[in-house]
Structure 1
Amino acid sequence: MSPVTEQWADVLTTHFALGEELPAVRAAAVYSAESGFFAVAGRDGENGRPHFAPAGGTGAQPGSDAFDPSRLEALWTAGEENAPPPLLRLGEVVWRRESLEQVTDAVTGTELDLVLLREGNRSMWVVRTRQGICIFALVDGTNEGHVAEARSFALDFDSFLVGQGY
């Protein structure tokens, strides 16, 4: 395991241990175009990888449910008002973009793209830095308070990665 992957697992595990009885984030991952999903963790030691890519899958293959990085870029573009929202397949789930916003990281001052994805009543936040790193935070349950808490978690972890030089 790389040092960043170990740090990521430690940070996520600590977040879950210090959180409330039902943590807001069920699983989280870090993605880069060069490395793919280079760090994935789940709550309470759960394997988080199936939430982001099929078990054993490493790349997009025709007809597979593997993550297609070219679809990720569509999340960051503002569409026409009447156009359908961009979709992204992660694991076996097709997520649709519900919102897109640009925020300034309070710690680093960098501009970030922040997307809320929805699939039915499930939610996931995706943060993209200018360095091309994306943080995915899968919300646990349907509680809107968890959605807001998971947003904060994703932004906090982005600050952590930027501080590490990513």
Structure 2
Amino acid sequence: MSPVTEQWDEVLRTHLALGEERSPVLAAAAFSAEAGFFAVAGRGGADGWPYFRSMAHAPGAGGTGPERPDDVEALCTVCEEAVHPRGLWIAGLPWQRESRELVSDAVTGRDLELALLRQGDRAMWVVRTERGVCAFVLVDGDSEANLSEARSLTLEFDSFLVGQGY
């Protein structure tokens, strides 16, 4: 793991409470269209990659599923085009956009694009800064409390990104 990836892995864990047992976040990813994934992290040190990348389509996995663009490529497209109303495929599963809003960062005034995606009874917040950095935050369970708390953590994380110049 590169030093940059390790740094961003720790940033995700800290800002999204992934080290806490009762975190409302199951896994998260931070991505830059320019630099690729900064990090993918799961709660409690678990591997977060299976939530964001289809292992059946990973190189060398020998998957036999339908041909689809690589999930990382799909995430890059999301960053470039915003969250498309038709949704997207993440880890081989279709996610539908339920809502989308523009939120201004309280400190800098920069716009953050926030979308709620759903796949069955699972929910994920996707947020994008003006500079093309995306964060994907998978909510643990489908309770309104977890959904609301994960939204707050997602916005705080993106305020941190904006404050860092992203």
**TM class, shorter-length:** 0.7 to 0.9
Do the aligned partners of 2:116 and 2:126 also contact (CA within 8 Å) in 1? yes
Q: 1:160 deviation in Å?
A: 1.7
Partners of 1:12 and 1:71 in 2: CA distance: 20
- Partner of residue 70, structure 1: 77
Do the aligned partners of 1:65 and 1:92 also contact (CA within 8 Å) in 2? no
- Partner of residue 23, structure 1: 23
Partner deviation per Cα, 1:109-135 (whole Å, 9 max, x = no partner)? 211110000011100000111000011
Correspondence 1:113-124 to 2 at 5 A: 113-124=113-124
Partners of 1:162 and 1:131 in 2: CA distance: 9
Change (3 A) 1:122 1:34: same
Partners of 1:5 and 1:106 in 2: CA distance: 28
Question: Normalising to structure 2: TM-score of the pair?
Answer: 0.80
Correspondence 1:16-95 to 2 at 5 A: 16-17=18-19, 19=20, 21-55=21-55, 57=58, 63-64=67-68, 66-67=70-71, 68=74, 69-70=76-77, 73=81, 75=83, 85-95=85-95
User: What amino acid is the match of 2:139?
Assistant: V
Partners of 1:65 and 1:88 in 2: CA distance: 11
Change (3 A) 1:146 1:65: farther
Partners of 2:133 and 2:12 in 1: CA distance: 17
Which runs of 5 or more residues in structure 2 are unaligned?
A: 60-65
- Partner of residue 151, structure 2: 151
Secondary structure at the aligned position of 1:106 is classed as coil
- Partner of residue 79, structure 1: none
User: What amino acid is the match of 2:86?
Assistant: P
Partners of 1:51 and 1:153 in 2: CA distance: 19
- Partner of residue 104, structure 1: 104
Do the aligned partners of 1:65 and 1:91 also contact (CA within 8 Å) in 2? no
Q: 1:3 deviation in Å?
A: 4.8
Count residues in correspondence.
Answer: 153
Change (3 A) 1:7 1:156: farther
Which runs of 5 or more residues in structure 1 are unaligned?
A: 77-84
Q: Percent identity?
A: 54
Do the aligned partners of 1:54 and 1:65 also contact (CA within 8 Å) in 2? no
Partners of 2:38 and 2:58 in 1: CA distance: 14
Do the aligned partners of 2:12 and 2:29 also contact (CA within 8 Å) in 1? no
Q: 1:108 deviation in Å?
A: 2.5
Secondary structure at the aligned position of 2:142 is classed as coil
Q: 1:86 deviation in Å?
A: 1.6
